Chains A and B, each alone.
Chain A
Amino acid sequence: MSKKIGVFVCHCGTNISATVDVEKVAEEAKKNNPGVSYTTTYKYMCSDPGQKLLRDKIKEEGLDGVVVAACSPKMHEHTFRNAAIKTGLNPYHVEISNLREQCSWVHPDKPTGTEKSIDLVRMMTEKTRKDKSLNPIKVPVTKRALVIGGGIAGIQAALDIADGGQEVIMVEREASIGGHMAQLSETFPTLDCSQCIMTPKMVEAAQHENITMHTWSEIESVDGYIGNFDVKIRKKARSVDLDLCTGCSSCWQVCPCKKIKSEFDMGMGNRTAIYIPFPQAIPSKPVIDRENCILFKDARKKNIKPNDSKVCRKCIDACPIAPVKAIDYNQVDEIVEEKVGAIIVATGYKELDDTSLYGEYGGGKYKDVITGLQFERLASASGPTEGAIKRPSDGKEPEIVVFIQCVGSRDPAKGCSYCSKTCCMYTAKHTMLFKHKVHHGHAFVFYIDIRCAGKGYEEFSQRAIEEEGATYLRGRVSRIYKKGEKLVVLGADTLTGSVVEIEADMVVLASAMKAQDDATKIAQAVYIQYDKDKFLSEIHPKLKPVESSSAGIFLAGTCQGPKDIPETVAQAGAAASKVLALLSADELEREPVVAKVDRSPPPVFSTCIGCFYCQKVCPYSAIESEDIKARDGSVIKTVARVNEGLCQGCGLCAATCRSKSVELAGFNDEQIYAEINALEFN
């Protein structure tokens, strides 16, 4: 308990002193308060001389508690606590009374502001009296990172961390890494081929000695805390032994199931049941689609082990690996446990499924109404048409193509109030790709606004309009209907105020970027927040854009919100640098604002009654149970204990505790009651 408190009232130039009589505040702080042994005012407490004054007075006056009445603690609490450390005073004996943001700036009447300031300083002085010395909590760090997701964000983050000399474990749920970027044809604003820039990175990640890759795998659970996460990874049964397989292609060439819609080609092309998602896949080793493989279907029907089915064994027969074949029909899921110190979540996005939302655009009924990603596959040299623009219904080359922007985006009625950010650019790119491949064709674009903010972006979209001849119409499309072989697009041109009707051969919807269907599952598994659109939330939109609400867990790429490739790569790099900084320390220091369960001398041992209500309310699973044992090993009582590494200091447990056995350091009951009692309203 502090006996000699110093109160330092800051003028903040005139920011405080103009509407608060700072001299009077300092004077009143001392009045009738024997605990306050020193008060002063100073023009700028946060300046070097101001901090020196604080340090000098702590030493000269032997202060054991300090109240700085100045700006918000969010501004300079850190500054003044650090100043205290230099004098040997425990920093948690320094408190800030917020006279600027919450008083002088909002109450222009000087007597009123002064009166409130006196109260605020008194309340904080009383709290300070009850302050206890706290020491930063040290936790060891496991020098290994986990990256969830193997798209461009995950790959970039993994490479950056691995190049920094730390081990990375990468988990990708698909059979190959690459994500959406591998699906793209060309990229804006330079029109360089996506595969050409993506595949070298994929190879680099796969071959990097510091990166361990788990494809066809998902996160089962994440436990632990910053520096010490325990991760369980489910390696789904691939039915192919990755160590034995050479990726020779013999198996998928003989597979009789050839009419399965390819997920990678967005349903525009077909694949076999044993397949690699795309030719440049990494690892370039197949997986058996157990839903569609006739052998597995047969085994399920007969309720036998897959290997006992004799319906089709073409792939295993074709496998040239001997003596043990690389294909194993009986393979089962495997759980791998890993310890990591930091986690990057880079789980990406999914394209809006327009079929149920947009009945007016056919709701999936018209084959020639396709999405942006489907168009990417059409235009891609490695796509189902090898880059030729052919419409899905009859394979004819479309001459008139209508592109509709903001499908789902900026449309609260369809559930996405946000802008998907990339569509204006990729639509401009699509019109160019189309024009480059179908010279006599014509592209129409319906848009709400053209949002092309980015280096070289505006010029790119202007190029689409001015040089490549795309017709941009400002307005929405109300309906698409079929007329013979054509699709009639009915829309408005709001700039001329007319109704537009276009007979198109194909329509491309610039579908919104949505959060992954299971984004909330990931968020809950790693205890991080997500927003109303289920995108994962950064802790501060401006100053902490890659940190999640859980310490040690970072975000990269479109799982956090719609963004394009350059932004994704930049964010992945930022997340990687945060991880490298974290892993560079052997031990971490954390704010000691954590809960603590009472421990008393025998015969009480602890006032905790073991109801474990605290455990139920704790958002971090930080409450453990501890057996207090006698010397002979018999359990005297089972009580709660707080894992300091997990505890984030919310105080839920303290408020819930029925026996008042939990206290939150820095905000314990005594301190809060001291503040309340200092109200002196009576």
Chain B
Amino acid sequence: MTEENKFEPRIVAFLCNWCTYAGADLAGTGRKEYQANVRVIKLPCTGGIDPLFLIKAFERGADGILVSGCHPGDCHYNSGNYHARRRWNVYKPLLEFCGINPDRIQFSWISAAEGAKWVETINGVVDTVRALGPFENYQKLNTIGSDTSVSSETG
């Protein structure tokens, strides 16, 4: 990844089991091609995603993250996606504080019937993050002893 044009963003997607994971499966059943940069982690519900999971993923070298669950009103657990949305609203400003551009995390609703939307969303995330460039701040953190000039991405 020495040249900018060769940068392939690494995306982690945290998906709920009932809607978006099934939507991603549907994209497969429909043989809808999309960019292969994504690695999926399945949980029962987006409401059960600990924000620290996302920080950890960044620490492990992710350049972008997608969190996706059921549409409002469709949550398998009645209200889990609403909790996820609220948590995200609180979490977003905190991300900026942590030096992470909030554009690196996208939040979406994709139902089990929306294979096409999954493809569109994941391609969108990959493209957005590709434009943002690699996220290296946390990798610098690992070498913080030798180099203390860690700058915030968001300024």
Contact = CB atoms under 8 A, between A and B. Distances in A.
B146 to A, nearest CB: 17
Interface in B59-113: 60-62, 73-80, 83, 87
B120 to A, nearest CB: 13
Contacts of B50: 654-655, 669, 672
Contacts of A539: 76
A74 B26 CA distance: 11
Interface stretch (A81-89, A98-106, A240-248, A292-300): A98-106
A679 interface: yes
Contacts of A656: 83
Interface in B91-149: 119, 139
Interface string A646-657: 001111101110
Given A102-B28, A106-B33, A676 B44 contact: no
A682 B27 CA distance: 29
Most buried by A among B28, B29, B80, B83: B28
Contacts of B27: 101, 106
Contacts, number: 134
A116 B47 contact: no
Interface string A88-122: 00000000001011110111110011011001100
Given A527-B78, A529-B78, A650-B80, A682 B45 contact: no
Contacts of B61: 679-682
Interface in A151-188: none
A676 B73 CA distance: 29
A62 to B, nearest CB: 28
A593 interface: yes
B137 to A, nearest CB: 13
Contact of A617 (B25, B32, B62, B83): B83
B6 interface: no
Contacts of B139: 682
A426 interface: no
Contacts of B42: 73
Contact of B78 (A101, A619, A682): A619
Given A101-B24, A106-B28, A549 B49 contact: no
Given A102-B40, A648-B77, A672-B41, A679 B28 contact: no
A676 B41 contact: yes
Contacts of A123: 39, 41
A619 B57 contact: no
Contacts of A119: 39
Contacts of B39: 116, 119-120, 123, 679
A108 B41 CA distance: 22
A72 interface: yes
Interface string A609-640: 00000000101100000000000000000000
Nearest to A672: B53
Contacts of A681: 10, 60-62
Contacts of B32: 106
A619 B79 contact: yes
Interface in B1-33: 10, 12, 22, 24-29, 31-33
A655 B29 contact: no
B36 interface: yes
A524 B49 CA distance: 25
A61 interface: no
A673 interface: yes
A677 B60 contact: yes
Contacts of A664: 44, 48
Given A98-B40, A105-B29, A529-B73, A651 B48 contact: yes
B10 A617 contact: no
A74 B60 contact: no
Contacts of B49: 655
B74 A529 contact: yes
B100 to A, nearest CB: 15
Most buried by A among B22, B56, B78: B78
A532 interface: yes
Given A120-B39, A531-B73, A617 B24 contact: no
Contacts of B62: 679, 681
A667 interface: yes
Contacts of B10: 679, 681
Contact of B28 (A101, A108, A617, A675): A101
A609 B116 CA distance: 45
B48 A650 contact: yes
A72 B43 contact: no
Contacts of B31: 105-106
A180 B38 CA distance: 53
A648 B17 CA distance: 13
Most buried by B among A101, A617, A654: A101
A100 B76 contact: no
Nearest to B76: A549
Contact of A655 (B24, B48, B60, B73): B48
B31 to A, nearest CB: 5
Nearest to A549: B76
Most buried by B among A119, A620, A654: A654
A531 B56 CA distance: 36
Contacts of B78: 527, 529, 549, 619-620
B57 A650 contact: no
Contacts of A620: 77-78
Given A672-B41, A679-B39, A74 B25 contact: yes
A649 B73 contact: no
B41 A651 contact: no
Nearest to B37: A116
A518 to B, nearest CB: 18
4 A-B pairs with least C-beta separation = A651-B48, A681-B61, A101-B28, A650-B77
9 contacts: A103-B36, A105-B31, A107-B34, A549-B77, A619-B79, A673-B53, A676-B60, A677-B60, A682-B61
Interface of A: 72-74, 98, 100-103, 105-109, 112-113, 115-116, 119-120, 123, 527, 529-532, 537, 539, 549, 593, 617, 619-620, 648-652, 654-656, 664, 667, 669, 672-673, 675-677, 679-682
Given A103-B28, A106-B33, A669-B50, 9 more contacts: A101-B26, A619-B78, A650-B47, A655-B50, A675-B41, A676-B57, A679-B39, A681-B10, A682-B139
Interface of B: 10, 12, 22, 24-29, 31-34, 36, 39-45, 47-50, 53, 56-57, 60-62, 73-80, 83, 87, 119, 139
